Amino acid sequence: MTLDAVLARIDADLPQSLDRLKDLLRIPSISTDPAFNADCARAADWLVEELRSLGFEASARSTPGHPMVVAHSDGPAVAAGRHLLFYGHYDVQPVDPLNLWHRDPFDPEVQDTPKGPVIRARGAGDDKGQFMTFVEAMRAWKAVHGTLPGKLTIFLEGEEESGSPSLIPFMKENAGELAADLAIICDTGMYDDSVPSITTMLRGLAKTEFTIHAANRDLHSGMYGGLARNPLTVLSKILGNLHDETGRITIPGFYDDVAELPDQIREQWQALAFDHAKFLGDVGLSIPAGEQDRTPLEMIWSRPTAEVNGLWGGYNGAGFKTVLPAEAHAKVSFRLVSQQDPHKIVPAFRTWVEAQLPADCRVEWHDAVDGSPASVMSIADPAFEAARAALTEEWARTAAYVGAGGSIPIAGYFKEYLGLDALLIGFGRDDDNIHSPNEKYDLESFHKGIRSWARILAKLA
Amino acid sequence: MTLDAVLARIDADLPQSLDRLKDLLRIPSISTDPAFNADCARAADWLVEELRSLGFEASARSTPGHPMVVAHSDGPAVAAGRHLLFYGHYDVQPVDPLNLWHRDPFDPEVQDTPKGPVIRARGAGDDKGQFMTFVEAMRAWKAVHGTLPGKLTIFLEGEEESGSPSLIPFMKENAGELAADLAIICDTGMYDDSVPSITTMLRGLAKTEFTIHAANRDLHSGMYGGLARNPLTVLSKILGNLHDETGRITIPGFYDDVAELPDQIREQWQALAFDHAKFLGDVGLSIPAGEQDRTPLEMIWSRPTAEVNGLWGGYNGAGFKTVLPAEAHAKVSFRLVSQQDPHKIVPAFRTWVEAQLPADCRVEWHDAVDGSPASVMSIADPAFEAARAALTEEWARTAAYVGAGGSIPIAGYFKEYLGLDALLIGFGRDDDNIHSPNEKYDLESFHKGIRSWARILAKLA
């Protein structure tokens, strides 16, 4: 069985795979700091050479920012003509504060820890160690089969940590070249240290900022207090009404486009036995604060939210000022799920606020409606169940479809600009310290990650 | 009838009275700015000379700040042995912004206006022009009677505009010398341009600042939103509950010590026909926001309030940050009436807040309970009705007992440190521009003010 041969090859080649990862980790490709521009270009060139050595037709494509690495295999399309597009990013976060690192962030080293060996360096977990699992799986596949596993495009950007400014223009300009049937994104984590995961639901986001105006100037609370409207009280009353006693959001129509969780997903989430007491306890909290008839995982993965992110008005300096201010301000955002549309949710909120306004107040909205809908992958695509089975075999634990409370913008971009659903699979762990000092990636994640891709491609091919 | 002689003398002497006021207004006795320390001392000395010329035993008494002027007459106590203590202040506000003055603030001039002649200078209305009405009344009285009108102490401070830091220590150290039966304070205004007034109710003040703590650090609203507590929502809900739908404050026991308005006062207030539409319209509002079963005048004069003076938390800079903050903050104050005690009201509020707090939040109170109760003068004292009758005769309009929404700290100090109720009578008008450029005092206020005191003292003597 050739899969066994590929897996054996991966195991035998692990020290060399690790050496190649270390070479890449030694390049300080910090995308946010222009001092490292040449290093970003060097990382792109290194990857182009690497992919060419595997038989890809690869190039570093210039952008107004850092290069995009695009590589194509000329093999046959996998599984009934499917063309896969794999995404990762070779840029890394800055390393400040450097004094908190125990060693040079760009001198990678394998270290033993109580939970097993890890490779420690900036970028080990986000995202070089992750996407190199795919590249190394390609190498073993090629060594055993003599060819790459079907029709593949590899697409690696160098600006993910600085907001991907070139990504959408590049996708638009090269939509034909990037055309594929399914995206694979390797930049997420596992549900926990032992449960491999495919992220299939990501919440969207909508936001708005407003000012409530009452009197035409600040008033003295002695002279006017009790007779004149206080906009801080008006704002408190409105925002205090945002959730009812059961935690449900009270804006009319807010839940209209929210779908119930599919039974298959609900059962999987129940099987995860999420320890919300620990999750909340780690940040000093204890009580699930959302809709009381929902499970904690639903609250963060599949239910929408309305949150006040900023609130201010009146006097906030030292001491006291007995002022009735003229204005009160708030920033409010919504995490969206299912088919909720930012262009319906924000106007519904505005209407709801305005309906509660006393006749001698007015509200000023500060921004155009801005936001993005949720990403919900169609798990009806057989590639999902195939990938889940492959992950389950490799990790000897049932792989889970999981949600993510926040957006991963790249998943939305693939959908919007290339029309692709994405298989979001990664092997990161909660304690990887991504974006922080002493970032690491578990050797187990690296090794089983490579093996996981070999199994996934064997199922899809 | 000697009162007529005194009034005639006042009329005849008006040009000289005005000259003396101008002399005093020329001294830039700005108490907040040390550059004017010598001018404050000069104003005190000028007053000592003036009062000595009237037969008072007067002196300027040094303090850590500006001098106190204290003057005693050795006449018989007025009206059944009553000893009156008259208060005013000779210091004035700074004059910035100087470019908005139409002439030198310390070069007083009588100017014609559509509403009649005024004397324009810093301090004309607050408080030199006001307290000189009393001094000039003494002068005319002395000229006609040969003696001052009974047992009188005149007490003029020079730090009122800078918070009266020396006043309480001076009162304590000289309580014996300042002992009297009734205080008279001339530092207030008339209800409107034609209705003379005695202020008999002043609201008190209590205040508190607090922080609601939720998570032990700021959280990402994608990862935690919907499951983790948002302290801004908690704070909004609590402060949104502060008033019920009828405008009534919901803190248990809040109204326990609030007395209903005496019928006599209620009738007088009704007779004032307060134009709340104009009062609110001037600041861009239209709807009385307080307890809906109370009149607008009650809302500002005789009903207590609970007001949010400051509210803040989360992100308030440009753009957006999808943060669930760890903390939310508020400053809340209460205007107190009747027998409401700051040491009961603030703890009641704290208990009420804490009762609404989710179990995984805590509240931190930032200050000791601070505040002062309301001042409510006993109008049963016949001096009040006597003064009201005298004012009614002079102004040919029924004088009114009025309230004041804010505190006048000096009234509370007289009560607390000298045990005195105060007859608060003044002739200021809404458009006097006190504390602002182009301050003025109406000549009518000055002239009728002097005559008013002559009439009041004739009734009390």
Structure tokens at A2: 């050739």
B328 CA: distance to closest CA in chain A (Å): 9
pLDDT band at A209 (very low <50, low <70, confident <90, very high): very high
Task: Tell me the backbone φ, ψ of residue A152, rounded to 5 degrees.
Answer: -135, 140
Taking one residue from A and the other from B, the number of pairs with CB-CB distance under 8 angstroms is 276
Does residue B230 contact residue B224 with C-beta atoms inside 8 Å?
no
Sequence-separated (6 or more) residues with CB below 8 Å from residue B178: B70, B85, B153, B155, B171, B418
Residue of B nearest to A244 (CA): B237
Q: What is the dihedral of CA A323, A324, A325, A327, to 10 degrees?
A: 160
State residue A149's pLDDT score: 87
Q: Best mutation site among A219, A249, A283, A332 for testing chain B: the one with the most B CBs within 10 Å?
A: A283
In angstroms, the CA B210 to CA A70 distance is 56
Q: Report the alpha-carbon angle A407-B320-A353, nearest 5.
A: 95
Of B235, B320, B404, which has the smallest distance from its Cβ to A207's Cβ?
B320
Instruction: Give A323's strand partners.
Output: A220
Pairing status of strand B362-365 against strand B152-157: unpaired
Distance from C-alpha of B220 to C-alpha of A242, rounded to nearest angstrom: 20
Give chain B positions within 8 Å (CB) of A316: 310-312, 329, 331
CA torsion, ordered B239, B240, B243, B244, to nearest 10 deg = -150
State residue A408's pLDDT score: 84
pLDDT given for residue A370 in this prediction: 75
Is residue B274 within 8 Å of B296, Cβ to Cβ?
yes
State the pLDDT at residue B77: 59
The pLDDT mean for chain B works out to 95
Residue B404 and residue A335: Cβ atoms within 8 Å?
Answer: no
* B222–A207 CB contact, under 8 Å: no
Nearest chain A residue to B281, by CA: A215
Residues of chain B contacting residue A242, judged by C-beta atoms under 8 Å apart: 233, 236
Alpha-helix runs per DSSP H in B26-86 = 37-53, 78-81
Unique residue bearing structure tokens 């830091």: B165
Q: With contacts defined as CB-CB under 8 Å, which chain A residues touch B314?
A: 308-311, 331
Q: Over 80: is that where the pLDDT of A77 sits? A: no
Point out the residue among A227, A236, A285 whose CB comes nearest to the CB of B300: A227
Cβ A227–B276 below 8 Å, yes or no? yes
B404 → chain A, closest CA residue: A223
B226 chain-A contacts, CB cut-off 8 A:
289-291, 299-300, 303-305, 335, 405
CA count, 13 A, side-chain hemisphere, B218: 12
**DSSP-assigned letter for residue B194:** S
pLDDT digits (tens, 9 = 90+) for B131-166: 999 999 999 999 999 999 889 999 999 999 988 999
- The helix, strand and coil proportions of chain A, stated in percent and rounded to the nearest 5, come to 35, 20, 40
Q: How far is it, in rounded angstroms, from Cα A262 to Cα B97?
A: 69
Query: Quick one: pLDDT at residue A313?
Result: 97
Q: What is the pLDDT of residue A406?
A: 86
Distance from CA of A245 to the nearest CA of B (A): 10
Q: Which of A162, A160, A136 is closest to A22 using CA atoms? A: A136
Give me the helices (H) in A340-420, please. Answer: 342-355, 382-395, 409-418
DSSP letters for B361-376:
-EEEE-S--EEE--EE
d(CA A234, CA A228) in angstroms, rounded, equals 12
Confidence band, pLDDT 50/70/90 cuts, at residue B318: confident
Domains of chain A in start order, with CATH, are 2-201+375-460 (3.40.630.10), 204-258+304-372 (3.30.70.360)
Closest Cα of chain A to B50: distance in Å?
Answer: 35
CA dihedral A408, A411, A413, A417 (to 10 degrees): -170
Task: Read off the amino acid at residue A100.
Answer: L
Q: Which of B242, B303, B407 is opposite residue A226, by nearest beta carbon?
A: B303
A164-168, A318-322, B137-141, B445-449: the lowest-pLDDT one: A318-322
A283: closest CA among B214, B305, B244?
A: B214
Under the phi-then-psi rule, with left for phi > 0, alpha for psi from -120 to 50, and beta for the rest, what region is A64? alpha
A123: its two tokens: 């970028």
Contact B315 A310 (CB under 8 A): yes
- Closest residue to B406, CB basis, from A223, A335, A360: A223
For residue B246, pLDDT over 70 is answered with yes
Tell me if A239 and B241 make a contact (CB, 8 A cut-off): no
Residues of A in contact with B323 (CB under 8 A): 309-310
Instruction: For chain A, state the CA radius of gyration.
Output: 25
List all residues 6 or more positions away from B226 whose beta carbon is below 8 Å from its beta carbon: A289, A290, A291, A299, A300, A303, A304, A305, A335, A405
Kindly report the average pLDDT of chain A as a whole number: 95
A82 band by pLDDT with thresholds 50, 70 and 90? confident
The tens digit of pLDDT for each residue in A134-186 reads: 999 999 999 999 999 889 999 999 999 988 999 999 999 999 999 999 999 99
Which residues on A lie below 8 Å from B229 (Cβ)?
285, 287, 289
pLDDT-derived band at B76, boundaries 50, 70, 90: low
β-partners of residue B57 are: B72
Instruction: Say which residues have a Cβ less than 8 Å from residue B425's Cβ, sequence separation at least 6.
Output: B184, B185, B186, B188, B196, B197, B198, B199, B387, B391, B452, B456
Among the partner-chain residues B222, B288, B315, the one whose CB lies closest to the CB of A227 is B288
Q: Considering CB atoms only, which of B214, B227, B239 is closest to A290?
A: B227
At B127, the amino acid letter reads: D
Could you give the CA distance from residue A28 to residue A123 in angstroms, rounded to a whole number?
9
Q: What is the pLDDT of residue B325?
A: 95
Measured CA to CA, the distance from residue A56 to residue B25 in angstroms comes to: 93
pLDDT single digits (tens) A245-254? 999 999 999 9
- B102 contact partners, CB below 8 Å, separation of at least 6: B120, B438
* Helix, strand or coil, per DSSP, at residue A180: coil
Range name among A185-199, A444-458, B69-83 with the lowest pLDDT average: B69-83
- pLDDT value at residue A130: 98
Contacts of A223 in chain B (CB under 8 A): 300, 405-406
- E strands along B121-165, which residues? 152-157
Name the one residue in this structure whose structure tokens are 């995206």.
A183
Containing A79, the helix (H) or strand (E) segment is helix A78-81
Q: Among A230, A280, A285, pick the best mutation site for testing chain B contact (most B Cβ within 10 A).
A: A285
DSSP A85-128: EEEEE--B----SGGG-SS-TTS-EEE--TT--EEESTTTTTTH
First-residue to last-residue Cα distance in chain B = 14
Q: A197 vs A193, A393, B258, CA distance in Å?
A: 10, 13, 64
User: What is the Cα–Cα distance from B308 to A239, expressed in whole angstroms?
Assistant: 15
Find out whether B308 and B341 touch, Cβ atoms under 8 Å. Answer: no
With CA atoms as reference, the chain B residue closest to A234 would be B240
Alpha carbon separation from B218 to B231, B326, B384 (Å, rounded): 11, 5, 59
Q: Which two tokens stand for residue B381?
A: 């004292």
What's the token pair of residue B300? 């500002």
The whole-angstrom separation of Cα A170 and Cα A438 is 33
Would you call A226 and B299 a contact, using CB atoms and an 8 Å cutoff? yes
CA separation for the pair B232, B222 (Å, rounded): 16
Q: How far is A255 from chain B (nearest CA, A)?
A: 14
Q: What is the CA radius of gyration of chain B?
A: 25
pLDDT computed for residue B163 by the predictor: 87
A185-194 confidence digits (pLDDT tens): 999 999 999 9
What pLDDT score does B1 carry? Answer: 66
Name B219's Cβ contacts closer than 8 Å, sequence gap at least 6: A283, B225, B228, B323, B324, B326
With 0-12 / 13-18 / 19 or more C-beta atoms within 10 angstroms meaning exposed / middle / buried, residue B331 is buried
> Does residue B130 contact residue B426 with C-beta atoms inside 8 Å?
yes
Q: Which residues are CB-contacts of B335 (< 8 A; sequence separation ≥ 6)?
A: A221, A222, A225, A226, B203, B204, B205, B304, B305, B307, B405, B406
Q: Residue B369 pLDDT > 90, yes or no?
A: no
Percentage helix, strand, coil for chain B under 3-state DSSP, each rounded to 5: 35, 20, 40
Please give the residue that has the higher pLDDT: either A372 or B167.
Answer: B167
CA dihedral sign, ordered A384, A386, A388, A390 = negative
Cβ pair B285:A360 closer than 8 A: yes
Q: Which residues contact A344 (CB under 8 A, 6 or more apart)?
A: A253, A257
| Contact call for A310 and B307, based on CB within 8 A | no
